[in-house]
Chains A and B, each alone.
Chain A
Amino acid sequence: MLKTFEGYRRANGSIGVRNHTIVINTVGELAGLTKKLANLVPGVIPVVHQAGQSQYSEDSDQTIKTLTGTAGHPNVSAALFLGMGTEDPAEGIVETLKKDGHHVYSIIFDKKKSIAECLEEGKVWLKNALELSKQQKTEKADVSELTIGLECGGSDAWSGITANPSIGAFSDSIVADGGTSVLAETTEAVGAEHILANRAVNSEVGNRFLEIVKRYEQRARAVGEDIKAANPSPGNKTGGLTTLEEKSLGCIKKGGNSTLMEVIDYAHSPTEKGFIFMDTPGYDVESVVGLVAGGAQIVLFSTGKGSPTGSPIAPVIKIGTNPKLYKNMPEHIDVNAGKIIDQNYTIDQIGEEIYSKVLQVANGEITASEKFHNQEFSIWRLAETQ
């Protein structure tokens, strides 16, 4: 298998597998206008969320980090920020990104101009940015420049048996080829944290992993939830899961058996290559957004129930866990790991199929979630709203 792809080289040296022009709001109040503006310039993608306003500092920092990572992502050719008022972070984010060579601009909605004038200014900038992006040529790149996010959503009893171990087989292969895979969903690791910690490259990384799991459990406990006591759920047990360790293992096996090189915060970029863990919630939309803001060019997403979650800027490859899902929702599934159940395929064979699909998608093949414009975007909230 040829392990290269044609990508878009950015000014800061990163390489994208897509060449998107986006418009993105900094505060929830501008969500509607962001969509409206994107509609005025066909081909522009709206990145819309409800965060950014009336947040305590930990959420405000997380929002800015996520928006910066999204607009400065290698899959993004140009980004227009829409902000509001005098303390809006848009201009600051744009300054940061410009220093790194990104093509970005901000428009602030305040009492100086009418909304129509702001939209017209945005339309002109986006049209020009879109034209410029079309002139960008691709160049050959090696898989070692790929960072792949590993996610699951709408899991079922087969997730830990078919799709997740197959993703694990792929993860081990791309790590062996010098690439990077990022496992997420801290809440799903509860109960098996000692196993991942034991796979860490050193005790510092192992302890850091144990710390983020503990922090997550404490946050849950603060609102009266006990993750350990609640899992496996009665439904899980009916499906065949016996213990919390078993359930968590089924999830973390998306990371295969590679050495854990680094543990990073939400929306942060790895500084190491190889197998990485990012601290994210189990909610698939927020988790995918964090993975992508941290630089993942492609996300692998196992699903048993067909969760349609996509990303505005990164191709999300859906790996179906069972034959029934593939039969009923073939248009939503990119790789059918259900073949392990009814067609004698092995986990390693599906792992290879996933690798081929990743390369095809890196070369421009459209995923199911892209075809349907599934462009979910939501930022992980940590505290109360002011």
Chain B
Amino acid sequence: MSQKVNALKLDEEDNVAVALETLKAGELLSIKNEITKISATKTIPYGHKIALNPIPKGNRVIKYGECMGLATEDIAIGDHVHVSNVRGLTEEDKSFQKECIDVENI
């Protein structure tokens, strides 16, 4: 039976999905008609991101198959991924930005 899709993974490489509707804490993710075993750890507003994998502190957050920022703390599966636990690759940390580009080139 077809399940209402409630989250979108924009690229196979992504470690986050986008909530297509507001997800309640404990609600299971359904991506591409399949219910996953991933549930939201707290309310995720629609349009916001939810972690599909554990993302340790300092690791890359991948959306669109590209590096969109770095985890500023350990992120668990099902966590809300946003400004409280991710930062951009800002000017003051060029070294990591370089590393991020190099990784993408592989």
Quick check: which of A2-10, A91-99, A187-195 contacts chain B, the rest being far away?
A187-195
Q: Interface size bucket, A side?
A: 20 to 34
A198 adjacent to chain B (CB < 8 Å): yes
B19 neighbours in A (Cβ, 8 Å)? 240
B63 neighbours in A (Cβ, 8 Å)? 246, 249
* Interchain CB contact (< 8 A) of A249 among B18, B32, B64: B64
B101 adjacent to chain A (CB < 8 Å): yes
* Interchain CB contact (< 8 A) of A243 among B64, B69, B101: B69
* Interchain CB contact (< 8 A) of B81 among A239, A242, A250, A340: A242
B77 adjacent to chain A (CB < 8 Å): no
Quick check: which of A43-51, A80-88, A157-165, A265-273 contacts chain B, the rest being far away?
A157-165
A347 neighbours in B (Cβ, 8 Å)? 8, 10
Tell whether, in the assembled complex, residue B10 and residue A240 are in contact, meaning their CB atoms are under 8 Å apart: no
Contact with A along B26-55 (1 / 0, CB 8 A): 000000110000000000011111000000
Interface residues of A: mostly helix, strand, loop or mixed?
A: helix
* Interchain CB contact (< 8 A) of B82 among A158, A191, A242: A242
Tell whether, in the assembled complex, residue B10 and residue A165 are in contact, meaning their CB atoms are under 8 Å apart: yes
What are the 3 A-B residue pairs with the smallest beta carbon separation, nearest first? Answer: A243-B88, A240-B47, A240-B48
The tally of residues in B whose CB lies under 8 Å from a CB in A reads 36
Minimal beta-carbon separation of A227 from chain B (angstroms): 12
Instruction: Give the CA-CA distance A191 to B101 in the complex, in Å.
Output: 13
B101 neighbours in A (Cβ, 8 Å)? 194, 198
Minimal beta-carbon separation of A91 from chain B (angstroms): 49
Tell whether, in the assembled complex, residue A245 and residue B2 are in contact, meaning their CB atoms are under 8 Å apart: no
Tell whether, in the assembled complex, residue B67 and residue A242 are in contact, meaning their CB atoms are under 8 Å apart: no
Tell whether, in the assembled complex, residue A161 and residue B18 are in contact, meaning their CB atoms are under 8 Å apart: yes
CB proximity to B under 8 Å, residues A234-286: 237, 239-240, 242-246, 249-250, 253, 257
A341 adjacent to chain B (CB < 8 Å): yes
The residue of chain A having its C-beta at the shortest distance from the C-beta of B98 within the complex is A194
Instruction: Give the CA-CA distance A239 to B48 in the complex, in Å.
Output: 7
The residue of chain B having its C-beta at the shortest distance from the C-beta of A245 within the complex is B68
A249 neighbours in B (Cβ, 8 Å)? 63-64, 66, 68
**What are 8 residue pairs bridging A and B, where the CB atoms are less than 8 Å apart in the complex?**
A195-B66, A198-B105, A242-B86, A243-B89, A244-B88, A245-B88, A245-B89, A344-B33
A245 neighbours in B (Cβ, 8 Å)? 66-69, 88-89
Q: How many A-B residue pairs have CB under 8 A?
A: 74
Tell whether, in the assembled complex, residue B104 and residue A198 are in contact, meaning their CB atoms are under 8 Å apart: yes
Tell whether, in the assembled complex, residue B87 and residue A243 are in contact, meaning their CB atoms are under 8 Å apart: yes
Instruction: Give the CA-CA distance A242 to B86 in the complex, in Å.
Output: 7
Tell whether, in the assembled complex, residue A242 and residue B33 are in contact, meaning their CB atoms are under 8 Å apart: no
A246 neighbours in B (Cβ, 8 Å)? 63, 68-69, 88
Minimal beta-carbon separation of B14 from chain A (angstroms): 11
A218 adjacent to chain B (CB < 8 Å): no
Interface centre among B19, B45, B66, B87 (most CB of A within 10 A): B66
Minimal beta-carbon separation of A348 from chain B (angstroms): 11
Instruction: Give the CA-CA distance A198 to B4 in the complex, in Å.
Output: 37
B76 adjacent to chain A (CB < 8 Å): no
Q: A192-B66, A195-B66 are in contact. Are A240 and B4 (CB under 8 A)?
A: no
Contact with A along B14-28 (1 / 0, CB 8 A): 000011110000000
Interface centre among A192, A340, A344 (most CB of B within 10 A): A344
B88 neighbours in A (Cβ, 8 Å)? 191, 242-246
Instruction: Give the CA-CA distance A158 to B47 in the complex, in Å.
Output: 7
Tell whether, in the assembled complex, residue A161 and residue B47 are in contact, meaning their CB atoms are under 8 Å apart: yes
Instruction: Give the CA-CA distance A191 to B97 in the complex, in Å.
Output: 11
Minimal beta-carbon separation of B90 from chain A (angstroms): 8
